[in-house]
């Protein structure tokens, strides 16, 4: 536990060390918030409600996703694949900590930094310019925070899983990009899952991806209400546990066939 | 100049041959890129699953605008996409090596790589274009057909010029690279849709000052023979080439200014 805490602290500090990167990231996330916001707002010239979302819900969704980008970190995390590719993973295996657990602790430290400094600022800008929907009561806010914690874990487990493909494939970049973009679409990052046609929605909810983005947002704007909030959190937790177990199994299978050239 | 072009083509063809060496990996990359960008278009289709129009543009008309933007952006990525690696070149000091060589630094950076897998993105843009043209009743004539080629080429030039301009941020702050994405990938996003849907201040900033409106929006109005819902003068529809040349001059000046003020990390 003490180890997890230290790892989380170093995860936090690793990202806190580059304030210019944070400013640049917030700037870009904010610009995209405006671009996406206006595109989605244009839909409401023709309709008042889409998939249960009114214009204000959709704008709230847009700015929440812009804030969640850095927190759940679906994009461009290939740290593990790079270490497998280079053989550095051997060092990780020699350490007295489980790589999956150590990585999770480190990632939660990172996520906390990103939540504070890259998650909140774009959302505040959005809230200043547009009329956004807030959580209806403090309990919802707490549930949202917990939902984001689960979402981050689900995302981490998914990243760990597709990074492990590098044990079997030399050119891991291709599969990684595809894994990332599938997650991007089905998580509800680009368009709310509620906007999908029914058949696509069914596919999306059969995957862990909505647990990474759509579910926390549904809690925040109140699309998941009352007992549904508990159900949503339970589904997220189930995916988190399931994917962590899958990651452990795949990583173990990968290490069994791993050959590191000495040196 | 002619010499530079010759060397550039020689270096690029070497890069292409190197990437074609691993045929299966190359084919997978291109197919992957096609699928990835196709997913991007699925988002547009999902939008139209819910509404018949975006602003005063129909599905097929938005697809037309989207396709022009996608093809231009794919060409720009071929030419300058690896500028995203500039921060890494500065960090590791490999940019300093370029300063010592008897060629322009921008030339050397641009000639350093050529992303052949972007072919998948170009194919996706072309596929959407074919779909849009099939669904639309475009009053085709020689001028409009020529305009497609002109638009895609000069649209790519505008994207490229903007890319060169904004990536210069890394000469002052290496970690600031991500801010350039707001203009490069942000520009790509903006040009996929008719700009009338954006608010006025965003249009002024990202469509006129950063001249993204000339990539796909204005030329599309001409090719689709559409009235401008914003009521802007019609000469703008033909202004992409002159805007592209202007943007390139500004970007070149910015690059020279940035490199002159560049201080090595001393690695």
C-alpha torsion sign, points A82, A88, A90, A94? negative
- What are the beta bridge partners of residue A49? A54
CA B60, CA B67: separation in Å to the nearest integer? Answer: 10
Asked if A177 lies within 8 A of B36 by C-beta distance, the reply is: yes
Asked if A196 lies within 8 A of B51 by C-beta distance, the reply is: no
Is a pLDDT exceeding 70 seen at residue B267? no
Residue B265 covered by a domain: no
DSSP code of residue A118: I
List the single best residue of A38, A55, A172 to mutate versus B (max B Cβ within 10 A): A38
Q: What is the mean pLDDT of residues B256-260?
A: 95
Residue A81 covered by a domain: yes
Which of B30 and B10 is assigned the larger pLDDT? B10
Asked if A185 lies within 8 A of B173 by C-beta distance, the reply is: no
**pTM for the structure as a whole:** 0.93
Q: Does A128 touch chain B (CB under 8 A)?
A: no
> Percent of chain A beyond pLDDT 90?
79
User: Do residues B267 and B180 make contact, with C-beta atoms less than 8 angstroms apart?
Assistant: no
Per DSSP, the residues of B80-112 read: HGGGGGHHHHHHHTHHHHHHTSSS-HHHHHHHT
Residue B267 covered by a domain: no
Q: Please classify residue A71 by burial: count the beta carbons closer than 10 Å to its beta carbon, then call 0-12 exposed, 13-18 middle and 19+ buried.
A: buried
Of A192, A116, A196, A186, residue with least CA distance to A155 = A186
Q: What is the mean pLDDT of residues A94-114?
A: 95
Determine the 3-state secondary structure of A22 from DSSP.
helix
The range of the structural domain enclosing residue B219 comes to 2-260
Residue B228 covered by a domain: yes
Q: What is the pLDDT of residues A16-33, one digit of tens each?
A: 999 999 999 999 999 999
Residue B266 covered by a domain: no
Kind and range of the H or E element at B58? strand B57-58
Q: How far is CA B85 from CA A51, A139, B88, B161, in A?
A: 41, 45, 5, 16
Q: What is the mean pLDDT of residues A84-88?
A: 89
Is a pLDDT exceeding 90 seen at residue A195? yes
Is a pLDDT exceeding 60 seen at residue A263? no
Copy the structure tokens of residue A156: 């981490």
User: Do residues A4 and A101 make contact, with C-beta atoms less than 8 angstroms apart?
Assistant: yes
pLDDT at A11: 95
Of the partner residues B32, B179, B181, the one whose CB lies closest to the CB of residue A178 = B32
Residue A261 covered by a domain: no
Is a pLDDT exceeding 90 seen at residue A69? yes
Mean pLDDT of chain A: 93
Is a pLDDT exceeding 90 seen at residue A139? yes
Torsion angle (degrees, nearest 10) of CA A242, A244, A246, A250: 180
Is a pLDDT exceeding 90 seen at residue B39? no
Of the partner residues A28, A50, A197, the one whose CB lies closest to the CB of residue B181 = A28
Residue B114 covered by a domain: yes
Q: Does A42 touch chain B (CB under 8 A)?
A: yes
Q: B191 vs chain A: nearest CA distance in angstroms?
A: 10
Residue B100 covered by a domain: yes
- Confidence band (pLDDT; 50, 70, 90) for A262? low
Of the partner residues A185, A191, A200, the one whose CB lies closest to the CB of residue B47 = A191
Asked if A21 lies within 8 A of B176 by C-beta distance, the reply is: yes
Phi-psi region of B228 (alpha: psi -120 to 50; beta: other; left: phi over 0): beta
Q: What is the pLDDT of residues B62-82, one digit of tens each?
A: 999 999 999 999 999 999 999
Q: What is the pLDDT of residues B163-219, one digit of tens each?
A: 999 999 999 998 999 999 999 999 999 999 999 999 999 999 999 999 999 999 999
Determine the 3-state secondary structure of A69 from DSSP.
helix
The range of the structural domain enclosing residue A191 comes to 2-256
Residue A70's CB: how many other CB atoms inside 10 A?
23
- Confidence band (pLDDT; 50, 70, 90) for A259? confident
Interface of B with A (CB under 8 A): 22, 25, 28-29, 32, 35-36, 39-40, 42-43, 46-47, 49-55, 169, 173-179, 181-182, 186, 189-190, 193, 197-199, 202, 206
Of A40, A100, A91, residue with least CA distance to A66 = A40
User: Considering its fold, how many domains does chain B have in total?
Assistant: 1
CA A147, CA A68: separation in Å to the nearest integer? Answer: 12
Q: What is the mean pLDDT of residues B122-132?
A: 94
Residue A155 covered by a domain: yes
- What are the beta bridge partners of residue A53? A50
User: Considering its fold, how many domains does chain A have in total?
Assistant: 1
């Amino acid at each position: 536990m003490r180890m997890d805490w230290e790892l989380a602290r170093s995860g936090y500090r690793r990202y806190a060390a580059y304030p210019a990167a944070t400013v640049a990231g917030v700037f870009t996330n904010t610009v995209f918030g405006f671009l996406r916001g206006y595109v989605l707002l244009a839909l409401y010239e023709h309709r008042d409600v889409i998939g249960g979302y009114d214009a204000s819900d959709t704008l709230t969704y847009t700015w929440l996703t812009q804030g969640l980008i850095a927190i759940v970190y679906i994009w461009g995390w290939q740290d593990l694949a790079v270490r497998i590719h280079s053989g550095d993973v051997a060092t990780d295996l020699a350490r007295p900590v489980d790589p999956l657990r150590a990585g999770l602790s480190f990632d939660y430290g990172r996520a906390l930094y990103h939540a504070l400094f890259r998650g909140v600022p774009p959302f505040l800008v959005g809230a200043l310019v547009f009329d956004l929907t807030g959580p209806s009561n403090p309990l919802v806010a707490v549930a949202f925070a917990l939902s984001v914690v689960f979402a981050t874990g689900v995302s981490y487990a998914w990243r760990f899983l597709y990074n492990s493909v590098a044990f079997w494939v030399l050119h891991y970049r291709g599969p990684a990009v595809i894994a990332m973009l599938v997650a991007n679409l089905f998580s509800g990052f680009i368009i709310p899952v509620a906007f999908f046609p029914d058949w696509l929605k069914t596919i999306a909810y059969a995957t862990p991806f909505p647990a990474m983005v759509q579910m926390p947002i549904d809690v925040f704007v109140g699309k998941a209400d009352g007992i549904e909030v508990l159900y949503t959190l339970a589904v997220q937790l189930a995916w988190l546990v399931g994917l962590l177990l899958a990651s452990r199994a795949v990583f173990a299978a990968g290490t069994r066939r791993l050959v590191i050239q000495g040196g | 100049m002619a010499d530079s072009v010759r060397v550039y083509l020689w270096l690029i063809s070497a890069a292409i041959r190197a990437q074609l060496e691993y045929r299966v990996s190359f084919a997978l990359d291109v197919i992957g890129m096609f699928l990835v960008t196709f997913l991007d278009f699925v988002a547009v289709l999902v939008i139209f699953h819910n509404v018949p129009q975006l602003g005063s543009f129909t599905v097929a008309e938005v697809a037309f605008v989207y396709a022009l933007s996608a093809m231009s952006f794919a060409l720009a990525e071929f030419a300058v996409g690896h500028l995203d690696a500039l921060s890494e070149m500065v960090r590791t000091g490999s940019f300093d090596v370029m300063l010592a060589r008897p060629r322009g630094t921008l030339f050397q950076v641009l000639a350093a790589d050529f992303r052949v897998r972007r072919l998948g993105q170009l194919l996706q843009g072309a596929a959407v274009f074919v779909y849009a043209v099939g669904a639309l009743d475009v009053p085709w004539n020689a001028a409009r057909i020529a305009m497609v080629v002109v638009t895609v080429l000069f649209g790519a030039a505008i994207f490229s010029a903007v890319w060169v301009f904004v990536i210069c941020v890394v000469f002052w702050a290496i970690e600031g690279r991500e801010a350039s994405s707001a203009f490069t990938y942000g520009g790509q996003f903006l040009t996929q849709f008719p700009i009338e849907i954006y608010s006025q201040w965003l249009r002024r900033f990202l469509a006129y000052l950063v001249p993204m409106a000339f990539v796909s929006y204005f030329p599309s109005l001409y090719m689709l023979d559409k009235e401008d819902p914003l009521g802007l003068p019609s000469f703008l529809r033909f202004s992409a080439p002159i805007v592209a040349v202007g943007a390139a001059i500004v970007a070149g000046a910015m690059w020279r200014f940035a490199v002159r003020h560049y201080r090595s990390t001393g690695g």
